[in-house]
Amino acid sequence: MIKSVIFILFLAAGLSAQELWVKVNSPTTHTLRNLHFVDSLYGWAAGDSGAIVATTDGGSTWVSQRSGVLTDIYDLHFSDRNNGWCVTWRLDTLPYGTMLLNTTNGGKNWVKKPWEEPDIFLLTAHFLDSLNGWISGYEGRMYRTFDGGNEWRPEGIIPGYCSSFPVTYMNFYDSAFGMASGGHVDISGVIWRTTDNGEIWRSKCLSPEPLNAIYYLDSLNIIAVGGDFEYGTGIIRTTDGGLEWEYTSLEVFGIATAIDFRKDGEAWVPLAFANKMIYSFDTCRTWNVFEMPEFTNVFDLQFTDSTRGFAVGSNGVIYKYVPNYTAIKNETVNQESKENVLSIRNYPNPITEGTMIEIYSPQGIFIDIELYNLNGECVSNIYSGIKSKGRHHIYFNPGNISTGVYLLKVTDALGNTASVKTIKLK
């Protein structure tokens, strides 16, 4: 493994103002931690207190499904529109252990399947089809089924220093080649690798923090992300199918919990409790920061194609990625974000419920963002604090501010200012 000590520069060139994550109606207030779409229409999300929600119309509407449990769901995976699995734990009665949930009708009905052996705590599942799947979890345990989960057999794991660390994620490139990730906080992040249909797995310690998700660019080029509260976000990549890896610390606070690509080169990673996501336009070489609205924690995301994506997180929030956002034809002052000019803009504009303020700062400096009426009176102090060089996003809810025309203004510690006219509707 090669360790990189290169500081990852968070580029000033950020998102177009015409790209945005917008909140959609969610039927739950329980935190959602897992998201899975099998195609552009059918998707599910699951999380705390047994919450499962589903969509059959591409995320336009979401409905709750009855899981039959009140424990947290650690993973959710569907092989097609009908067959799906959830991993949770049995904690209400002895003996404690793993509880699997299985559906064969898209989640209309979920059937409990207690793990036969007690005190086994599993965390993640992956199915190639309705019959062939794997499940894994604490102590590096891995099991495989050939009959849709009626019977499970232990997989062969080559013993190693970190082979018994928790496995938290699994993903297969094809039926023969697959990887799993996980690790132990303050010790190591781990990748498990198989090339023989999961018969034998070999582990490798690769990072100072656990690894939480894996993405295959192809069979040779693979990326995994992770992090913890001490080391922050980290990334590893391989160009030879996982024989050798390069680790890089991104020098940003947050725990990377997922990774997906919207299109070639453009990757998105949620940072969980850091209330932000990071995104890259150059296949994870350099990164930008996107601050989530209302300080939302996002735990998982997935793009179904280049124009549609979803993210889930705290308090049941569901976000939809909307490219080419059309409601930003507004009059602006100093709107263009040149690399040496302080700038501000917001979208949508006019504002009904809330708006995303985008600023560009040509240097790391203290800034103030304020809202003024046309009499020159400050009606809201939106933000005061230090921002690094680059593009930043801050969500603003105008609340009970009266209908009318206002001026959003950003001022830095050197006295530089920029502003944009915005309209508040009822």
**Residues whose CB is less than 8 angstroms from the CB of residue 334 and which lie 6 or more positions away in sequence, other chains included:** 341, 342, 343, 344, 417, 418, 419, 420
Q: Given CATH 2.130.10.10, say whether it is the number of domain 2-322.
A: yes
Which CATH number does the domain 332-424 belong to among 2.60.40.2550, 3.90.1150.10, 2.30.30.40, 3.50.50.60?
2.60.40.2550
Q: Which of 363, 323, 328 is nearest to 345 (CA)?
A: 328
pLDDT per position as a tens digit, 141-180: 999 999 999 999 999 899 899 999 999 999 999 999 999 9
For the entire predicted model, the pTM comes to 0.74
Find out whether 10 and 277 touch, Cβ atoms under 8 Å.
Answer: no
Mean pLDDT, 10 residues at a time, the chain of 426 residues: 44 46 94 97 97 96 97 97 97 91 97 94 96 96 94 92 95 95 92 94 94 97 90 91 93 91 94 90 90 87 94 96 51 39 82 83 90 89 88 86 90 88 80
How far apart are the C-alpha atoms of 251 and 8, rounded to whole Å? 7
pLDDT per position as a tens digit, 172-220: 999 999 999 999 988 899 999 999 998 999 999 999 899 999 999 999 9
Check for a shared fold between 2-322 and 332-424. no
| Residue 49: φ, ψ to 5° | 55, 35
How far apart are the C-alpha atoms of 136 and 149, rounded to whole Å? 13
| Upper half-sphere CA count for residue 63 (Cβ side, 13 Å) | 9
| For the chain, domain boundaries | 2-322, 332-424
